Amino acid sequence: MAPPTNTFNEYDGIGNREDLSDVIYNISPFDTPFMSSIASVDATAQKHEWQTDALDSASGTNFVEDGLDAATDAITATARLYNNCCISDKVPLVSGSQQAVLKAGRGDELEYQISKSGKALKTDMETILLQSNILVAGSSGTASETAGITTWLITNLSEAADATTSTGSGLNARTDGTARVFTESLLKEVLRETWTSGGNPDCIMTGAFNKQKFSGFTGNATREVSANEKELFASIDVYDSDFGELQVFPNRFQNAADVLVLQKDMWAVAYLRQFQLHNLAKTGDSERRQLLAEYALEARQEKASGAVLDLTVA
């Protein structure tokens, strides 16, 4: 039914105020379970180095005759490893007019964009640390790159038969093989090998699809409700294995085909430069800031961790 003739309705009005909510809704994830779980250390050079060592294999025949001259044992030197620090940044730019106008949902546009860029920078770093990228030294015209986690893991792996393993030096990437279904037996195999190698893993990290696969395991998996931890990671399980309890974290930024079994204190992020904010020179009617960090992944002892790789993701 049509309104009466000459009805002045909202479609004719000129001065009606807009209805724009003063809240900006953003559900983009910015949780970083890996970076949040491992140590942060200082780097003092762009090439960050550390050492690893191991005890001699245990002997069941270490019997010494009474009064015999002592025989000197051979000494094995430590292994010296390194990774390169890389630089990651975000650079927001806001015009003078955008800063001046009245805005909904934020007062200062530049501060809002800086906060948003900082969260995005952290997710970039989480992704870089968990990928299979190899280290690049960097040179004029070439950015330095830090080697990701799966370029270091070589000892305690469950892989497809046609996969190619890295050398564990950060210098070459592994190649994926034919995808397999994630099963509890594969996980138990890696846990056994990791413990036998001397590790005490305390964390399992996986993508969304294989996190749900994990939830379907019939072994000793129990739900852990901790308000403190849920603030950080949104969902936490505890897997009670034959070799101790492991927290299970879903991670949006790792390779979805990987299930990482980690001893967290055997990994660290080494910062040559912690998160920094720089005012960049004005070149006109705008303000520009640079957020950056310079960092490398430190693989303290890869034998303490393992992974189930080459898994289906759908």
Residue 220 lies in a domain: yes
| Domain span holding position 234 | 33-51+80-308
Residue 2 lies in a domain: no
The b-or-e profile of 195-216 (16+ CB within 10 A means b, else e) is bebebebbbbbbbebbbebbee
- pLDDT (0 to 100) of residue 234: 38
- pLDDT (0 to 100) of residue 220: 52
Sequence-distant (6+) residues with CB within 8 A of 133 are 145, 146, 147, 148, 151, 173
Question: For 304, which DSSP code?
Answer: G
The values of phi and psi at residue 278, to 5°, are: -115, 140
The b-or-e profile of 231-266 (16+ CB within 10 A means b, else e) is eebeebbbbebeeeebbbbbbbbbbbbbbbbbbbeb
- pLDDT (0 to 100) of residue 2: 80
Residue given tokens 């001699």 in the structure block: 56
Residue 66 lies in a domain: no
- pLDDT (0 to 100) of residue 219: 61
Nearest CA-CA partner of 158 in 194, 133, 208: 194
- pLDDT (0 to 100) of residue 216: 83
Question: For 10, which DSSP code?
Answer: T
Sequence-distant (6+) residues with CB within 8 A of 179 are 160, 257, 310, 311, 312, 313
Q: Sort 157 into a burial class: Cβ within 10 Å, 0-12 / 13-18 / 19+.
A: buried
Residue 187 identity (one-letter amino acid) = L
pTM score, whole prediction: 0.86
How many angstroms separate the CA atoms of 30 and 126, rounded? 10
Residue 281 lies in a domain: yes
- pLDDT (0 to 100) of residue 204: 96
- pLDDT (0 to 100) of residue 230: 45
Residues of the chain with pLDDT under 50: 221, 225, 229-236
CATH value at residue 259: 3.90.1690
- pLDDT (0 to 100) of residue 225: 47
Question: For 311, which DSSP code?
Answer: B
- pLDDT (0 to 100) of residue 179: 97
- pLDDT (0 to 100) of residue 27: 66
Residue 19 lies in a domain: no
Residue 171 lies in a domain: yes
Q: What is the tally of structural domains in the chain? A: 1
Residue 8 lies in a domain: no
Residue 137 lies in a domain: yes
